[in-house]
Chain A
Amino acid sequence: MSEKRNLIDITDLSVAEIGDLIATAEDIAANPAKYENACAHKQLATLFFEPSTRTRLSFESAMLALGGGVLGFSEAASSSTSKGETVGDTVHTVSCYADIIAMRHPKEGAPYAAAQFSEVPIINAGDGGHNHPTQTLTDLLTIHREKGRLDNFTIGFCGDLKFGRTVHSLVNALSRQHGVKFVFISPEELKLPDYLKDNVLKKNGLPYEETSNLEEAMPQLDILYMTRVQKERFFNEADYIRLKDTYVLDTEKLVPAKKDLCILHPLPRVNEIAVAVDQDSRAAYWKQVKNGKYIRMALIMKLLGIRI
């Protein structure tokens, strides 16, 4: 039997493996019937210690579309965690019932801890403000479908770059592609963490710039990745209120943007993208949601060692 594979950090997958997952996801989108029994008799457990709409439903929808079953919980209060059970014991227990586990947890590194105790593959479905690798796979699939490539473009990340786990994972993933230039747009308090700048960007000599001005950055962007300022990441509510509406993308701000700009957002949004932008052909964030299901289907199959 092959060694258990987990997806804790996007760098757990090689560039070639990500390319294979994207190719499988494209095939799933084109031929869904071909995969409808791929995971028959397999069980996915979704352990969500923190609320989620898209990610949890996307995982469950993906497993059901593969002919498998799902079990799990959607908040810590309905698990034994509320009785003081550790992540390790919870995962050890669940790995007796399920073939694969998708886990979201408010504490950073919880999925890494879980992987030490689990007998089945662990997928990190978001750990605090740290990483969210399946959102990254979703983002990469969407960029690939919209731009036809994963290299040679300028991408702007806007909003909460400090706690935005989807940003951290996507920066990591794109740092391994050729010709990607990064523009980080954020208020001073929510800048990209130093460890990413030092260990990923500077270490690899990748071009990047930091600014607080979205309007000035807009004309050079091929992709704009908007993020929400996340209330749940702040210890101090006054800081959240002060920063939450720093950037609001509206139709006026898009005037100087490229005609083929691709606008992404991991969702949920609050105020950072005006609803009117939804009608703009450059808005790709609803397509992202659908792509999330296809790429998670491909990922579940890969980690279970199932090929069609």
Chain B
Amino acid sequence: MNIDSIQNGVVLDHIQAGKSMDIYKYLRLSELDCSVAIIKNVRSARMGKKDIIKIDSPMEVDLDVLGYIDPDITVNIIRDGVRVEKKHLELPQKLVNIIHCKNPRCITVAEPQLDAIFLLNDPERHTYRCAYCDTEKRRAL
């Protein structure tokens, strides 16, 4: 199967196989006008199978969102058909308005206009806690 190389844009590589549609949704890629290729179950020496997303337009990828979803994803920036930057992600220390607290006693549930703030709690278990009420939340995927 052939997918054309992109000239200027972003390639999200090393996505856990089967998770590319979740990332498509979290990054709101459906709102883009440019070509977006989702390639599933690509053979990978390191991962066995992986997904790849190619975005045929320069864009600012929200690294916090991506790092939260899967810190093993790599972000490749392409200019004039050449990779000019490869970004490795890590779990962000702070998430603002990416996930929301479900604790019915939390003030952010009663007043949803407040920023939903989560702080990295345990990097090994990939858990975050609500900055307001301390309710723990595991990573989305």
Contacts and interface: CB of A to CB of B under 8 A. Distances in A.
Given A88-B114, A199-B122, A113 B107 contact: yes
Contacts of A88: 111, 114
Contact of A87 (B111, B121, B122, B130): B111
A50 interface: no
Interface stretch (B29-37, B51-59, B131-139): B131-139
Interface in A155-206: 194-195, 198-199
B105 A86 contact: no
A109 B132 contact: yes
B14 interface: no
Given A88-B114, A199-B121, A199-B122, A110 B134 contact: no
B20 interface: no
Interface string A102-145: 00011111101100100000000001111000000000000000
Given A130-B134, A195-B134, A199-B121, A109 B113 contact: no
A129 B134 CA distance: 11
Nearest to B136: A195
Given A128-B105, A199-B121, A199-B122, A108 B111 contact: no
Contact of A108 (B114, B115, B121, B132): B132
A170 B103 CA distance: 22
A107 B101 CA distance: 13
Interface string B79-119: 00000000000000000000000010111101101110000
Contact of B132 (A86, A113, A129, A198): A113
B57 to A, nearest CB: 36
Contacts of A110: 107, 132
Nearest to B133: A108
Given A86-B111, A87-B107, A128-B105, A109 B121 contact: no
Contacts of B110: 107
A86 B133 CA distance: 17
B129 interface: yes
The listed residue with most B CB atoms (<10 A of its CB), out of A109, A110, A198, is: A109
B107 A107 contact: yes
Contacts of A195: 121, 129, 134-136
A130 B133 contact: yes
Contact of B106 (A86, A108, A116): A108
A198 B27 CA distance: 32
A204 B114 CA distance: 32
A105 B122 CA distance: 28
B122 A109 contact: no
Contacts of B122: 198-199
16 contacts: A107-B107, A108-B105, A109-B106, A109-B107, A109-B133, A110-B107, A112-B107, A112-B132, A113-B107, A113-B114, A113-B132, A129-B105, A130-B105, A195-B121, A198-B122, A199-B129
Interface of B: 103, 105-108, 110-111, 113-115, 121-122, 129-136
Given A112-B132, A195-B134, 4 more contacts: A108-B106, A108-B132, A195-B135, A199-B122
